[in-house]
Structure 1
Amino acid sequence: MGGVTTTTSSRTRLSPDERRTQLLDLGVRLLATTSLEELSIDVLAEEAGISRGLLYHYFGTKLGFFEAVVQHAADDLYRQTAPPAEGEPLERLMGSITGYVDYVVANQPGYRSLVRAASGGNDTLRRIYDDTFRALADRFFAVDTGTIDLPDTPAVRLVLHAWQAMTEALVLRWCDDPAGLTRDDLLRVIVDSLLPLLAALP
């Protein structure tokens, strides 16, 4: 009983923002082993030690919670793919891509469900997906935090978008079947493929 009392007491000390963040963190952790379609409100409420009603109080609806979890996961992905502050451009790009590959490998079910949801009929999930990859592409043009110094033109953006799509598809296929490639091999293929694509632009 003492343990239950301590848990309840610690819960009451959380502010609404802290509780909401705790629930989102838990939702993201569950997405590491569970697809978005299989994510259960009941399981999450039980894991968090709260009622379903309290969870709906914070997020309104089941879909509202799912969308908030996906945004939280997308923010995590963006943070984990931040390039190192120091190093040559390609070294910094390698650091960013390493973060991306490791994130996808560690969160496959949730990441795959996000990709499926983004291609489905949910406009909010599609926007989160598109905004995240646009923000990742923007890093190439940031003066202080960019990896490779690229001219910000529609043609360069087009090639970057295609390279991002190839990278995502390649990593997900590699997770299913590495085809003899090590993680380092995969990283090198991804990083080394970008500049030749850009060099082909007129």
Structure 2
Amino acid sequence: MSREARRQDLIAAALELFGRRSPEQVSAEDVVALAGVSRPLFYRYFSSVRELHVAALRSVTDGLVEQLAVRAEGDPVRRLRAAVRGLMEVAAEYRAAYVALLRSGSVIATAETDAVVDEVRRRSVALILEELGVAEPSPRLLLTLRCWTAVVEGAVLAWLQEDAVPGDDLDVWLVDQLTAMLTATARHDPAVPDLRAQREAYPSTS
């Protein structure tokens, strides 16, 4: 097995364990037992469990960022809905890790883990600004978009953890939330684009 393949095996084992318990409760012994390797071999690839934790989180956020780079066809509303669906698909694929990613931030947060999470948030805001055609966003607009990314994170997390939260129209609901938030912000900041107007310009969007 190649070095990179072995490293990915350890990351996969960590992702599974982080989904079942808090990351700070996972030891090197737990990881090597699940991966079927020796402890010395573990330390050939990672200096500590914390280093492995960051690598595991990055494997998830890399998937989220890559999905945000995929552009659907259609009007801005339709494309934003597709982006949310893409995030949901990645979150579902890495369900245990996504839950651990958001659950663990306040417990074992470091500058590096915070940067990993913030990377997805920054890319999400950049995507919306591109769709709105805004090159220089106002402070109110930036605050609105950052608040909406927090809504998306919470909603997707609830969808993964709670059976009562439906996922079939979650993308539509979340983009409707963004439309309402932008409409409210536009009343206080005339420079903020109204996503509702863009929707009305494309009557085929449902």
- TM > 0.5: yes
Is it true that 1:196 corresponds to 2:180 in the alignment?
A: yes
Aligned equivalents of 2:22, 2:75: Cα separation in 1: 37
Is it true that 1:125 corresponds to 2:110 in the alignment?
A: no
Is it true that 1:157 corresponds to 2:142 in the alignment?
A: yes
Aligned equivalents of 2:11, 2:18: Cα separation in 1: 11
Is it true that 1:114 corresponds to 2:98 in the alignment?
A: no
Is it true that 1:136 corresponds to 2:124 in the alignment?
A: yes
Q: CA, structure 1 residues 23+121, in 2 after alignment: closer, same or farther (shift >3 Å)? A: closer
Aligned equivalents of 2:55, 2:85: Cα separation in 1: 26
Q: CA, structure 1 residues 150+25, in 2 after alignment: closer, same or farther (shift >3 Å)? A: farther
Superposed displacement of residue 194, structure 1: 0.9
**Residue identity matched to 2:74:** G
**Contact 1:27 1:69 survives alignment (8 Å):** yes
Q: CA, structure 1 residues 62+31, in 2 after alignment: closer, same or farther (shift >3 Å)? A: closer
Q: Which residue of 1 aligns with 2:58?
A: 71
Q: CA, structure 1 residues 27+152, in 2 after alignment: closer, same or farther (shift >3 Å)? A: farther
Residue-by-residue CA offset, 1:36-91 (whole Å, 9 max, x unaligned): 34545334324444312121121111111111111222112222344434332222
Q: CA, structure 1 residues 33+108, in 2 after alignment: closer, same or farther (shift >3 Å)? A: farther
Superposed displacement of residue 18, structure 1: 4.5
The two structures, once aligned, show a CA RMSD in angstroms of: 2.7
Q: Which residue of 2 aligns with 1:170?
A: 155
Q: CA, structure 1 residues 38+66, in 2 after alignment: closer, same or farther (shift >3 Å)? A: same
Q: Which residue of 2 aligns with 1:185?
A: 169
5+ long unaligned stretches in structure 1: 1-10
Is it true that 1:55 corresponds to 2:39 in the alignment?
A: no
Aligned equivalents of 2:62, 2:36: Cα separation in 1: 25
Q: Which residue of 2 aligns with 1:3?
A: none
TM-score (norm 1): 0.74
Q: After TM superposition, which residue ranges in structure 1, 4 or more long, deviate above 6 angstroms? A: none
Q: Which residue of 2 aligns with 1:5?
A: none
**Contact 2:124 2:149 survives alignment (8 Å):** no
TM-score (norm 2): 0.73
Residue-by-residue CA offset, 1:142-190 (whole Å, 9 max, x unaligned): xxxx4443344232221111001112112223344454x6322222110
5+ long unaligned stretches in structure 2: 190-206
Aligned equivalents of 2:152, 2:37: Cα separation in 1: 39
